[in-house]
Amino acid sequence: MLDRGIRDEIIKAVTAGASLRDAARAQGYAMTTARTWLQQDLVFARDFRKAKAQCKINQLVRLAEAKGWQAPVFLLERKWPAEFGRRKPAAAPAEPLKVDHTPMKVDLLFLPPELLKQVEQAFRNAADDIDSCPTKPLPKMLESDLSADSTSSD
């Protein structure tokens, strides 16, 4: 049976930020004994969960008061790394990405007329922006589709 004084000391230590292992050792008990107490004593288990939550809240309050923020941040990062730990930046790819510059064939017949006009305008703008870029006339089939769309929508 767990002595109430020992239980209170363990709960106080956990509330202050100690692990169950350290709190039990400070009272002269092994971790396995403390785990047995948690399994057998529902009041102790409840108080232990409350103490862990209170520890977290205490650190957040200290952080919010901003009187020496480093210590509570350190404790929060170490005790609850999933919530407060430093996030690692995404790793850069091992090799630079390779871009395939081979021309892509797109069947323009399946594009809606509005999108087809946007594509044509984008190509014309790109050709206008680059002085050295030789422009080629649009394929006859594309020109006839565009002229048919422009006459039918007017």
pLDDT at 35: 93
Of 23, 87, 84, which is closest to residue 59 (Cα–Cα)? 84
| pLDDT tens for each residue of 39-75 | 999 999 999 999 999 998 888 887 777 666 777 787 7
pLDDT at 76: 80
Query: Domain limits of the chain?
Result: 4-84, 108-153
The CATH code for residues 4-84 is 1.10.10
Of 91, 149, 97, 99, which is closest to residue 120 (Cα–Cα)? 149
Helices 42-65/70-79 angle, 10° precision: 140
pLDDT means over runs of 10, the chain (154 residues): 89 93 94 93 94 89 73 79 79 70 67 78 69 53 53 49
pTM of the model: 0.48
The token pair at 28 is 């002269």
CA geometry: angle at 25 spanning 80 and 75, to 5°? 20
